[in-house]
Amino acid sequence: MRRPGRTSRPTPGVFLSSRSEPRHAAGRRSVKCRAMTDLAAALHRIFGFEDFRPGQEAVVRDVLAGKDVLALMPTGGGKSLCFQLPAVLKPGLSIVVSPLIALMQDQVRLLEDNGVAATYINSTLRSDEIQRRLAAAMRGEYKLIYLAPERLLLGEFLEGPLQRLSVDPGISAFVIDEAHCVSEWGHDFRPEYRQLSTLRRRYPQIPLLAFTATATARVRVDIAAQLALRDPARHLSSFNRPNLFYRVRPKSKGTYTELLAQARAGGAGIVYCLSRRRVEELATQLQGDGIAALPYHAGLDAAIRRDNQEAFIRDNAQVMVATIAFGMGINKPDVRWVSHYDLPRSLEGYYQESGRAGRDGDPAQCTLYFGLGDIRTAEFLIQQKLDPDSGDPLEDEQRIARQQLRQVLSYAESTECRRAIQLRYFDETFQGPCGACDNCCEPRTQRDCTVESKQLLSCIARLAQRSERFGAAHIIDILRGSRSERIVSRGHDTLSVYGIGSKWRVPEWRDLIRALLHQGLVAETQDGYPVLLLNAASWEVLRDQRTVRISEAPAKAPAKGRAALPTSSLGASVEGRELFETLRALRKRLADAQGMPPYVIFHDATLREIAERRPVTLGEFAGIRGVGEAKLARYGEEFVAVVREHAS
């Protein structure tokens, strides 16, 4: 029986086109797939892409070679394809560990629509349905199966279904998606991920593949150690998302008006807030102003959260107002803007949350609203980090959280390229200007601060000669000639640099230190005790091998409203835009009939290409990016018919 809204044309099997297909037929196809040395042909046949995105092919080849893999690819970089394509081409079953139900369901929907046999097992299913899916997996009817770590690690599952699957049809790989969850240094640590090393001990011959979109160098080391990866092939893509425009705006009485204008300008958007109360108030206010907005936070009933999330990804709601509980695993590619109405908790969290915009590669805007009241709210939340048994403060957690807060404040107040600041956090060097952030696009004057920089770096060096290390506040006190007991008792008033910076006020020195950190000219420890250290670039400044120039904040605040965004390639003609909207309407109708988000059928980029190239035959339609064999058979006739009708 075909699903409503789909054409009656039969779907050619990509690997296992039908769950009832005889196993010997599947075997013949698997041999055929394994024999394919032309990965580009397989990529087009299954996913409809003519070529790989940067970095994908190297990962795919290492997975096909049976290596352990640690791959870090930014949101929107196509990391899922790096394990999905090999899963189809290799014999056996790939088991994907995924932390969220929404992520599992979304990935399986996308795979099924591309003709790939995949399924998930989670708590939303009845026990008889779980048993039915496991039985089908043991008959070799799936190429990928998604599981939560909690279920996978159950003793009864390890000893029963998993053991049987390892024998027949065989497990081709264990995929650990969102692998940063394994590290306590990551922004989304999940203790159950730590236990996944059990898989290596029980099945040492099966490759382990770890994928994540965000991980510092420390987290990457922790992932490899915790999962017991064996000499993994390491793939580190750039964290840069060039299609995202970053800006920071002062929070004021006009902030809501700006946000409302952003929503009315169109496009799906996410608004992040720190508190549940703010989420509810803002969602209600937007609704009252005619915006289809919904709330999402942990205090809502699970069914309401699920319904609101589904409404958003199916384009039945334009805006989701949420706490950080929302977003991980959401694959909606066409989010055009993300606004943080309150300060994010960490710079890594901000990168992850703002990165939910523009996953399709089209221009998108990321706005952070910043006010002094946010600092008080953040400090209150930090103080809530208490031991659940004794009620005593968790001092280590609070200390690290305060350092993370300082990093966010530093980002918000900086005059340096915002993209460069984010990338440096992940140990990636980026030479601005980026041309896509407020600091780079708004006119700034620069001043030479080489002398003051040498004074500050010299102070750090003099302390290091005494085997002493201090943070910014203490160093500023030395430079300004403070007579505090802390300075005098340590003899720091006898240093040659004591008092040489008395002409500068404390805020000026703090601005300089912030700029030096962002430019990589001084280092800071990351253990919650922010101590300043010299690095190789520091010595270049001290030896007069490089100058230091600091951007000054604009004398006049930028005009309210939306910052300029890069232009998209949407059809320039009225006729092209009309066809694009007609195609969007068809996509929405087909998606609603099948109970799935529109982007599962085609991304906006595919619709734009259809509107621009206007294919009138199935052969021409097959040449559109994102149209594989399964989608050609399933949707080709209806989309081509719309193009023909529009042309006539």
State the average pLDDT over residues 52-64: 94
Question: CATH 1.10.10.10 residue ranges in the chain?
Answer: 446-551
pLDDT of residue 528: 67
> Cα–Cα distance between 582 and 344 in angstroms, integer?
38
Mutual angle of helices 574-594 and 604-613, in 10-degree steps: 130
Residue 641 neighbours by CB under 8 Å, 6+ apart: none
Which has more confidence, 29 or 96? 96
Per DSSP, 497 falls in state T
Structure-token pair, residue 260: 């409302």
Question: Looking at the predicted structure, is the pLDDT value of residue 306 above 90?
Answer: no
pTM: 0.75
Question: Looking at the predicted structure, is the pLDDT value of residue 410 above 70?
Answer: yes
> Cα–Cα distance between 625 and 51 in angstroms, integer?
9
Per-residue pLDDT tens over the stretch 147-167: 999 999 999 999 999 999 999
pLDDT of residue 564: 39
Question: CATH 1.10.150.80 residue ranges in the chain?
Answer: 574-647
Question: Looking at the predicted structure, is the pLDDT value of residue 2 above 50?
Answer: no
Count other Cβ atoms within 10 Å, centred on residue 445. Answer: 11
Structure-token pair, residue 472: 């910014």
Q: In CATH, what number does 23-236 get? A: 3.40.50.300
The answer to whether 411 touches 421, Cβ cutoff 8 Å, is yes
Per-residue pLDDT tens over the stretch 434-457: 999 999 998 677 789 999 999 999
Class of domain 446-551: mainly alpha
Structure-token pair, residue 563: 């910052």
Question: CATH 3.40.50.300 residue ranges in the chain?
Answer: 23-236, 244-438
> Cα–Cα distance between 92 and 171 in angstroms, integer?
5
Instruction: State the residue for tokens 């279904």.
Output: 161
Q: What's the pLDDT band for 494 if we cut at 50, 70, 90?
A: very high
Which superfamily is assigned to 574-647 in CATH? HRDC domain (1.10.150.80)
- CATH architecture, range 244-438: 3-Layer(aba) Sandwich (3.40)
- Strands (E) across 435-547 are located at 446-448, 523-524, 532-533
